[in-house]
Amino acid sequence: MFDYGQLKKGLFCLEAEHAHALATQALRILGACPWFFSRFESPLLETSFLDLKLPNPIGLAAGFDKDARMLAGLDVLGFGNIEVGSVTPKGQFGNPKPRLFRFAKQESLQNAMGFNNQGIIPLVSRLEHIKPLKSVVGINLGKNKNTPLEHALEDYKQGLQASLGVGDYYVFNLSSPNTKNLRDLQNESFVGELFSMAVGYTHKPLFLKVAPDMPIDTLLAICQIALDKGARGIIATNTTTDYSLLSGAKNFGGISGRVLEAKARAVFAEVARAFFGRAILVAVGGISDGKEAYERIKMGAHFVQIFSAFIYQGPLICRQIKQDIVKLLQRDGLRSIQEAIGVNHG
Ligand SMILES: Cc1cc2nc3c(=O)[nH]c(=O)nc-3n(C[C@H](O)[C@H](O)[C@H](O)COP(=O)(O)O)c2cc1C
């Protein structure tokens, strides 16, 4: 029987980015040898909306597989959705290291990666050559560090245009705290321009990913503009810059994991209250078990995403969450996850 506890002890002795590099290799091997893993799926978990058909509502959030190098392995682990990126038009190194920190007791992470990625062209070429996957693949777009804010729209346009044929959906990430002033783009004027531009290029679903650190009224106003201009959904939330949540936190970067759970849930609740029924809603932030995933779905999420919990609980987490949700559905007498979406809304 696979014991992640033992493996984690070894991985956590390594600097976090070295551990990530090892995990990348392991997932690439798994992608080539999928028979090592027995996938758990249930028809109860299938969900579809717009033109997307997800085998289950558990996704892997952006940032884990920025360059789409592990997709086949992540698909084998059973994620219903994998969001690659954030990817920028040109490749870049990101911020100086160290820039990724574990807070193991709190099952949380702090990162200041700064969109380290190889650029949109290599990502597109990988996606063009990948075998069909069960997971739905989203492409999360960012802007290059050296692009001035007044030219940011051009970066998002380039990323979108270059990847039009290969994504199932697209996400505009204006909410990373690790590219200087990026969050300043979370304003009505830029968001309006961004989605007006994007709908001219594709009919595929477009999402806005938001930060949890804005006043709620501002956040909702920005989401409203995005939806008015053609966004089909909102992803809430990115990491937080509320460093008071994590004792020992550094005063830079973004915090994720268990300490983000309550805040991300509260922000998601506001987004759901305002937009459930009018937009596809995706909940992310501090989700670490089937109970919380199910809770957010009942609040109105069409699907959820995880990141930090994958680091802390390992490759079986997706399977575990899915099994737990099936039990919770049966407990509540619901026939499918579709029936659970938004039952607690309002
Ligand atoms: C190391 C790391 C890198 C991340 N990179 C990105 C990114 O490139 N784009 C993005 O939209 N979100 C990024 N995120 C944020 C996650 O997608 C997610 O929104 C956040 O971690 C909250 O989820 P969690 O609490 O389950 O980790 C990153 C998170 C971490 C920990």
Question: Is residue 295 in a domain?
Answer: yes
Q: Is the pLDDT of residue 39 over 90?
A: no
In a domain, 346, yes or no: no
* Active-site residue list: 176
pLDDT digits (tens, 9 = 90+) for 67-97: 999 999 999 999 999 999 999 999 999 999 9
* 119 within a domain of the structure (yes/no): yes
Q: 112 is in which domain, residue-wise?
A: 4-340
% the chain with pLDDT above 70:
99
- Give domain status of residue 40, yes or no: yes
Q: Distance, CA 55 to ligand 1 centroid (Å)?
A: 22
Question: Which among 214, 235, 270 has a CA at the least distance from the CA of 85?
Answer: 235
Residue 345 lies in a domain: no
Does ligand 1 come within 6 angstroms of the Cβ of 240?
A: no
Say yes or no: CB of residue 182 within 6 Å of ligand 1.
no
CATH number at residue 146: 3.20.20.70
The model's pLDDT over 290-344, given as tens digits with 9 standing for 90+, comes to 999 999 999 999 999 999 999 999 999 999 999 999 999 999 999 999 999 999 9
| pLDDT given for residue 36 in this prediction | 84
Q: Per the structure block, which two tokens stand in for 9? A: 């002890």
Q: Provide the domain count of the chain.
A: 1
- Ligand 1 atom showing the smallest separation from residue 85 Cα: 8
Burial class (CB in 10 A: 0-12, 13-18, 19+), 267: buried
Centroid of ligand 1 to alpha carbon of 62 (angstroms): 6
Judge contact between 61 and 284, C-beta under 8 A: yes
In a domain, 50, yes or no: yes
Phi, psi (degrees; rounded to nearest 5) at 327? -65, -40
Residue 330 lies in a domain: yes
**Residue 345 binned pLDDT confidence (cut-offs 50, 70, 90):** confident
Confirm whether 234 is domain-assigned.
yes
If one residue of 103, 238, 296, 303 were mutated to test the ligand 1 pocket, choosing by the most ligand atoms within 8 A of its CB, it would be: 238
